[in-house]
Chain A
Amino acid sequence: MLSTCNRTEIYFCTDSADESLATVKDVLIKYFDIDRKILEEYTYTFQDEPSYKHLFLVASGLDSMVVGEPQILGQVKDAYRMAAHSNTTGYLLNKLFHKTFNVAKRVRSETRIGYNPVSISSMAIELSKRIFGDLRNRKVLVIGAGEMSETALKHLKKEGLSDIFIINRTFGNAKKLAEDIAGIPYPFESMSDLLGQVDMVLASTGAEKPIIGSGLVLQIMKRRKNRPLFIVDIAVPRDVDPSVNDIENVYLYDIDDLKDLSQKHLSDRLKESERALSIVDGEVAAFSSWLRQSEKNPLIAYVIDKAEAIRAKEFRKASQKFKNADEETIKNIEALTRAIVNKLVHPHVTFIKQDSDREISETIKRLFTLDEEDEKDLDNRNEGQ
């Protein structure tokens, strides 16, 4: 069972699909005490190929509201770990989920889908890293104790800030937020003092007019001996006068700047998602053919697996040498390796299929040098059937 912010999914492996699906739904209806109609309205089901394609897409972040978000893979991993821990995953689900992690990893490393952040707070963090290196032992001043500050702060805190100063027109609210996130509340009047101490400012008050102008910042920069100051203004209307950005060593980003950047990064991700989809499609096809084989005979699947593992390993090794070749050539070479391996493996597979007294199978087993671990693997496969 996989649960994320906007979905809950249940993966299971069964011999009789319709029956099991009905059982699962019954359990859900009973457990949550909901109407069948409502349940039907909000559920989707996948079977066979579409089902693992869906899982691959989910885990790679291609099915998320924010394309390419990285958290989802962690959630899938947690879900799997929990299920495996309580012994509810069989051979097939194990295989599928390990494959899934593999696919997600490939998508992440071979495309730039998760390269640039898109959420306001992660972009603010990214920018601060370009200015300061990291936020460890840095101080931040929060002006305005609204909801916006709270969400942003939760992200910021993970970066190891040493102090979070909070000021607000109504001191009580500053105090409340400070308690929630372990910050230090200050009266609003100490703003100019605090500005002299901190590295980063997060402004989000409901003020009608800017509360920080360039005159004030110029004064403060003198006191700071020009230590860089990064100001994030997520208030609408703005809390900080835009001209502040013109001051030396001050970097001001307001909500519009961040939104523009976010748009840009998001469209980069969408472009990358095309490439990610083709990776997923390739993996889906590979998994399907593996599945078809293993259904018939575990030894066949084993032989194909082993051959494919050798092929993939050798191809990876060799591909270092023709890194400079164009994509078309590399594709052709890979197809060639596949063709050779398939031709070599095919007679074995045919023999296993026709082998009634299992004599030839034994020989083939030995031919593919089964060691103890492989034997265990094969036993597992037999169980999984």
Chain B
Amino acid sequence: MNVLIFYSALFCYLLSALSYLVYLIYNKKTVERAGHYALLAAFFIHLASVAFRYLQAGHTPITNMFESLSFFALCIAGFFLYLKRTYAINSLGCIVLPAVSLLLIWALAYPADIRPLPPVLKSLWLPVHTTFSFLGNAIFFVSFLVSIIYIIAEREIKRKKSFLFSARFPSLETLDSINYRCMSYGFPFLTVGIITGSIWAGFAWGSYWSWDPKETWSLITWIVYAILIHNRLAIGWRGRKTAYLMIAGFISILFTFFGVNFLIGGLHSYM
């Protein structure tokens, strides 16, 4: 049952991704609308599937690779929907939605069955810590994509030769202001995620901070984004430089999430 809901969400995401790709090429308003409604449907079905899993399992379904990737994708889709309300960023759909779809397909590579919760994770901090961390990561993922487009489009306008990206994607200022917004939402989430994690660690492992690889890397990530905020607000960094830092920050997130789980190991490797 749950799998069925999951698949129908994935189907809607793929439909939406396809619509947005067609929209990018033919620029037809009706196609964009189709993509938008497919995305709305996908998001709510996906949300329902996560909620359903929560009821079935009896705990927050962010405890293994399948659940994490799925929840991460859900956060991205939700944040994109939120951004769409304020900015004219329809063309970004052709990047965000394929990414979301791929994340879900990737999630399917992992066992999706519900397992009993390991005793160490049994805590009220599990939903709080994971939700904040993933929301933060999802927001920074969007800013990562936006930054890549910014850098390519900006280079096109400077070089004056071809305008493949800049003619189709949102203007430089729009991209930059999305980046700014991502920063001002993502950073608090990331911070709360780290603090709640630390408190939880204090209860579970008896020490608030034990310098395990995941903790260390999330601190590095936090510092990268803190530098970004400082430079933006105090020195007035804008545009390309902030875009590069955003990319660096997200690479650090990737390493925190995957590098630690797969390569290094440590207290945090459950998945």
Contact = CB atoms under 8 A, between A and B. Distances in A.
Contact of B160 (A129, A133, A257): A257
B239 A248 contact: yes
Given A257-B160, A261-B160, A129 B171 contact: yes
Interface in B228-271: 236-241
B174 interface: yes
A226 B172 CA distance: 13
A97 interface: no
22 contacts: A129-B171, A130-B157, A130-B171, A131-B173, A132-B171, A132-B172, A133-B170, A133-B171, A222-B236, A226-B236, A226-B237, A226-B239, A227-B238, A228-B173, A228-B238, A245-B158, A248-B239, A248-B240, A249-B239, A249-B240, A251-B157, A251-B158
Contacts of B241: 248
B54 interface: no
Interface residues of A, number: 19
Contact of B238 (A130, A226, A251, A257): A226
A133 B166 CA distance: 11
A236 to B, nearest CB: 18
B167 interface: yes
Contacts of B106: none
Contacts of A260: 160
Which 10 A/B pairs are nearest by Cβ-Cβ distance? A225-B236, A133-B171, A226-B238, A130-B166, A226-B236, A131-B172, A133-B174, A249-B239, A132-B173, A257-B160
A56 interface: no
Interface in B140-180: 153, 157-158, 160, 163, 166-167, 170-174
A302 interface: no
Interface of B: 88, 153, 157-158, 160, 163, 166-167, 170-174, 236-241
A355 B241 CA distance: 82
Interface string A245-280: 100110101000100110000000000000000000
Given A131-B157, A226-B238, A257-B160, 15 more contacts: A130-B163, A130-B166, A130-B167, A130-B172, A132-B171, A132-B172, A133-B170, A222-B236, A226-B236, A226-B237, A228-B238, A248-B240, A249-B240, A251-B158, A253-B160
Nearest to B160: A257
A249 B238 contact: yes
B207 to A, nearest CB: 43
Contacts of B166: 130
Contacts of B238: 225-228, 249
A248 B170 CA distance: 19
A120 interface: no
A261 B172 CA distance: 20
Contacts of B237: 226
Most B-side CB within 10 Å, residue of A228, A253, A261:
A228
Most B-side CB within 10 Å, residue of A127, A130, A257:
A130
Interface in A204-242: 222, 225-228
Nearest to A199: B173
Interface string A93-131: 000000000000000000000000000000000010111
B174 to A, nearest CB: 5
B172 to A, nearest CB: 5
Nearest to A258: B160
Contact of A131 (B88, B167, B171, B240): B171
Nearest to B236: A225
Contact of A228 (B88, B160, B170, B239): B239
Most A-side CB within 10 Å, residue of B170, B238, B239, B240:
B238
A132 B239 CA distance: 12
B47 to A, nearest CB: 31
A253 B160 CA distance: 8
A71 B174 CA distance: 30
B241 to A, nearest CB: 7
Nearest to B175: A133
A245 B237 CA distance: 18
B199 to A, nearest CB: 37
Contacts of B157: 127, 130-131, 251
B201 to A, nearest CB: 40
Contacts of A222: 236
B192 to A, nearest CB: 29
Nearest to A323: B22
B236 A133 contact: no
A248 B242 CA distance: 12
B88 A133 contact: yes
Nearest to B238: A226
Contacts of A253: 160
A228 B237 CA distance: 11
Contacts of B172: 130-132, 228
A38 to B, nearest CB: 46
Contacts of A249: 238-240
A257 B161 CA distance: 9
B163 to A, nearest CB: 7
Contacts of B240: 248-249
A133 B173 CA distance: 7
